[in-house]
Amino acid sequence: MTARERVAARSRVSINRLPLLAGAALSLAAGLWGGLGLLGFDVPQPRASLAAQHGPLMALGFLGTLISLERAVALKKAWAFTAPVLAALGALTVVFGFAQPGRLLLTAAGGWLIAVYLVLLRRRIGRDTAIQLSGAVAWYIGGLLWMRSGSVVDMVPWLAAFLVLTIAGERLELARVAFLRRGASNGMLAAAALVGAGAIASTVHTDAGWRITGLGMAVLAGWLALHDIARHTVRARGLPRYTAACLLAGYVWLAAAGVLWSVLGLPAAEGGGYDAALHALFLGFVVSMVFGHAPVILPAVLGVRLPYHRVLYGPLVLLHAALLVRIAGDLAGVPELRVVGGVLGEVSLLAFAGCAVAVSRLSHLSRPSRPHVPTEPS
């Protein structure tokens, strides 16, 4: 196969994956629209209120599709792409008002992702892959609980375990490859075990489960702050420094979420504590990870260049400023601040998407004949 043929083949593969990315994007849009409803805006809602499905659409529809797509690309097996297909279809089914079939599809996606990780674990046995596998198991169990009760609150610790353990496993892999000293990963395993134990405990005693999960998140944040290579790459320039800034800021929010969960337990849903506890984790920590890894994941998954540009700092700064305003409003009992922070948080996500498209487009116009896939900077 010639070089031109190889480039054409990669382009066809990337185009075939675009519908999955579109499904993730539609899940994100629906989740953000539902978020406006939760903030009190009188926005039109479809047959099934998107406000009630806001969390699962963001965590499983959007992030679940992206994570399972990235793992399928890593496995390089056609059957592995069933997981992101199920996740995207499940999210869209929920959006169009068919809640229970959508939950079934999203839960099945988690089960399929478990199979993907089992094959990856067979290829290379490692603690990092095992931790990510446990995250997929948390997705599946959370989906089963959601199908049984229809309550999002029941599955929150499991959603937290899915995303936290997935991200932690990926960071452990990079730390191990870089310079992690022998035996240091024991701390990561202990923190992951606490997060998993909290999710399990939440099915019996919800308040205690939230507290244990929070303790695990706080311990994990401390481990990452000590051992992640972002501590060193933040002194670099360009993309490594930007990625490190995203990661370190995210670890601060992970620690804050851990403290909130540990102290508050399961807050009353109508109070500000519940909103603060959830968004410190899912927005402050998880979305920071998305911002930081996007310049690496998008080229690897879609073959689309997303080179570093200083403009990417704009949405990052806006995200954390918005979250500070929102949580200040939550904890101080000032709903106006919560609304302002919530709207600005959604704007930061849309701004990042716009910046990413603009930077990628400019790069394509300036260097159309040199496809480039960057390596993980931090």
Question: Can you say whether residue 309 is alpha, beta or left, with left for phi > 0 and alpha for psi between -120 and 50 degrees?
Answer: beta
The whole-angstrom separation of Cα 283 and Cα 269 is 18
The whole-angstrom separation of Cα 316 and Cα 1 is 42
Q: Is the residue at 280 inside a domain?
A: yes
Question: Can you say whether residue 305 is alpha, beta or left, with left for phi > 0 and alpha for psi between -120 and 50 degrees?
Answer: beta
Which residues have a Cβ under 8 Å from the Cβ of 133 and sit 6 or more positions away? 114, 117, 118, 121
**Which of 85, 104, 125 is the last residue before a domain boundary?**
125
User: With bands split at pLDDT 50, 70 and 90, how would you rate the model's confidence at 8?
Assistant: very low
Q: Are residues 240 and 376 in the same domain?
A: yes
Q: Are residues 111 and 236 in the same domain?
A: no
The whole-angstrom separation of Cα 367 and Cα 372 is 10
Q: Is the residue at 341 inside a domain?
A: yes
Q: Read off the DSSP letter of residue 311.
A: G
pLDDT of 190: 93
Q: If you search the block for the tokens 């972002």, which residue do you land on?
A: 230
Q: Is the residue at 38 inside a domain?
A: yes
- Give the pLDDT confidence of 78-88 residue by residue, as tens digits: 999 999 999 99
- Give the pLDDT confidence of 90-125 residue by residue, as tens digits: 999 999 889 899 999 999 999 999 999 999 998 888
The whole-angstrom separation of Cα 335 and Cα 166 is 33
User: With bands split at pLDDT 50, 70 and 90, how would you rate the model's confidence at 371?
Assistant: very low
Residue 272 has pLDDT above 90, yes or no: no
| Nearest alpha-carbon partner for 353 in 300, 298, 303 | 298
| Nearest alpha-carbon partner for 53 in 103, 104, 118 | 103
Q: Which residues in 221-251 are b (16+ Cβ under 10 Å) and which e?
A: bbbbbebbbbbebbeeeebbbbbbbbbbbbb
DSSP 233-264: HTTS-HHHHHHHHHHHHHHHHHHHHHHHHHHH
pLDDT of 126: 83
Which residues have a Cβ under 8 Å from the Cβ of 367 and sit 6 or more positions away? 305
Q: Are residues 121 and 237 in the same domain?
A: no
**Which of 88, 105, 125 is the last residue before a domain boundary?**
125
Domain assignment of residue 353, given as a range: 229-378
Residue 5 has pLDDT above 50, yes or no: no
Per 3-state DSSP, what percentage of the chain is helix, strand, and coil (rounded to 5)? 80, 0, 20
**Which of 125, 160, 177 is the last residue before a domain boundary?**
125
Q: Are residues 250 and 377 in the same domain?
A: yes
Residue 375 has pLDDT above 60, yes or no: no
Task: Among 146-155, 301-310, 368-377, name the most confident range.
Answer: 146-155
Q: Are residues 238 and 365 in the same domain?
A: yes
114 with 136: CB under 8 angstroms? Answer: yes
Q: Is the residue at 21 inside a domain?
A: yes
**Structure-block tokens of residue 301:** 């998954």
CA 195 to mean position of chain CA atoms: 16
Q: Are residues 234 and 102 in the same domain?
A: no
pLDDT of 275: 92
C-alpha distances in Å from residue 307, one per residue of 296, 301, 375 = 9, 15, 11
Cα Rg for the chain, rounded, in angstroms?
20
Q: Which residue did the predictor score with more confidence, 176 or 155?
A: 155
Residue 175 has pLDDT above 80, yes or no: no
Q: Is the residue at 119 inside a domain?
A: yes
The dihedral over CA atoms of 157, 201, 277, 36, expressed in degrees to the nearest 10, equals 40
Residue 30 has pLDDT above 80, yes or no: yes
CA 72 to mean position of chain CA atoms: 16
Q: Is the residue at 168 inside a domain?
A: no
Residue 366 has pLDDT above 80, yes or no: no
Q: Are residues 117 and 254 in the same domain?
A: no
Residue 3 has pLDDT above 80, yes or no: no
Outline where 39-51 has alpha helix (H): none
**Structure-block tokens of residue 200:** 């399990």
Which residues have a Cβ under 8 Å from the Cβ of 187 and sit 6 or more positions away? 219, 223, 227
Q: Are residues 254 and 371 in the same domain?
A: yes
The dihedral over CA atoms of 249, 250, 256, 257, expressed in degrees to the nearest 10, equals 160
Total domain count for the chain?
A: 2
Q: Are residues 241 and 118 in the same domain?
A: no
Q: Is the residue at 4 inside a domain?
A: no
pLDDT of 188: 87
Q: Is the residue at 160 inside a domain?
A: no
Query: To the nearest whole number, what is the mean pLDDT of the chain?
Result: 87
